[in-house]
Amino acid sequence: MDETTTTKPASTFGGMPVAPYQQWARETLGYEFAHIEWLITALTHRSYVNEHKKSTTEHNERLEFLGDAVLELIVTDYLYKNFQEQEGVLTSWRAALVRTESIAEAGERLGYEPLIRMSKGEKAGGDRARQQIRANAFEAVLGSIYLEKGYDAASEYVHTYILSKLDTILAEGTWRDPKSHLQEVSQRVDGATPVYKVMDEVGPDHDKVFTLGAYVNGTLRGKGVGPSKQAAQQQAARAALKAYEQIDKRPKTE
């Protein structure tokens, strides 16, 4: 009588137990990975490989490269098939959907950050660095899903965590460049162009945080914080636009 031998799935990969990764995939995505090494690699930062060269040789940047292309294709395909706007508008919508802040927020919702393998230094890093790591991991995980389950599963992932934000982005107008939009509004309402001024600057050179104000006719209309002056200006412009919205909502006096 012939005996059939079965090979049990490996319980570790690169020195890490696979069970937490399979549990995350099962509970979050609805399935386990036949090639769990793809998911674990997707959640491996370059810094971890530098500290664990004997047990780990691959980080997530190749999968991130793949996932970035898949993400752009899925978003572009959806926008092209569902909207009739011109190329420039669709490009702005896509940029708003796939910018670092958006996909990092999606990564936070997915809850995989505790599973990301990174160096002790990166774990102790600032919010800006952690945001970038989450965003890169989102694209790498998408790459692993594409390899594991194909285009349809990758598309479901993107629709659930990225394209689901489109209605809000369109309703709030956040797809528009906030500085250009603010200039239009301030000139219409106040007859003046915004001026941006640095209000605060803290942190070491490699991890600075800037606070800038958007002033119109000398009045502070909005304040923004960011890892660069440009990013802080964008946030200040968004805050100023919200302030103008509140002005528009005030009851008109006779």
* Dist CA 96 CA 168 (whole Å): 11
Q: Are 222 and 237 in contact (CB under 8 A)?
A: yes
Please identify which of the residues 51, 64, 77, 139 carries the catalytic annotation.
Answer: 139
**Catalytic: 139?**
yes
- Kindly name the residue from 64, 68, 105, 148 that is annotated as catalytic: 68
Give the chain's length.
254
Whether 152 is a known active-site residue: answer: no
Catalytic residue positions? Answer: 68, 139
